[in-house]
């Protein structure tokens, strides 16, 4: 996936009120993809993806992880950022995304 296409994905999410929060890149992704938003933190990952969030209507914040590959795929989770298991929940969703993408590619 090209940096330009990723920038388009980010622009589309922003258009609908989503805020880019994290960029997840594999070692190969780091070599091939430039961060379209330099202030956005980049995390080592087993899959190329981006986390977005948007303010809640009521309650928890909606977080969506978007696979950055040829096949568009995303998972949505409502999370409490103040929860002590917040980072663990993000990692669990990342694992689910990786498993789902792998299953679709087989």
Question: What is the per-residue pLDDT across 11-38, written as a single tens digit (0 to 9) for each?
Answer: 999 999 999 999 999 999 999 888 888 8
- Residue 24 neighbours by CB under 8 Å, 6+ apart: 42, 43, 44, 45, 47, 48, 49, 50, 51, 65, 94
Instruction: Write down the pLDDT at residue 27.
Output: 94
- pLDDT band at 106; cut points 50, 70, 90: low
Residue holding tokens 């689910």?
96
Instruction: Write down the pLDDT at residue 45.
Output: 94
Give the Cβ contact number of residue 41 at 10 Å. Answer: 12
pLDDT at position 104 over 90: no
pTM score of the predicted model: 0.91
């Amino acid at each position: 996936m090209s940096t330009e296409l990723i920038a388009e994905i980010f622009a589309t999410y922003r258009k609908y009120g989503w805020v880019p929060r994290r960029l997840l890149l594999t070692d190969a992704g780091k070599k091939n993809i430039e961060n379209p938003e330099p202030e956005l933190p980049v995390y080592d990952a087993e899959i190329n993806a981006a986390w977005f969030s948007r303010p809640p209507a009521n309650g928890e914040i909606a977080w969506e992880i978007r696979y950055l590959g040829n096949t568009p795929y995303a998972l949505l989770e409502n999370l409490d950022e103040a929860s002590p298991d917040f980072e663990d929940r993000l990692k669990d969703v990342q694992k689910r995304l990786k498993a789902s993408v792998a299953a679709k590619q087989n």
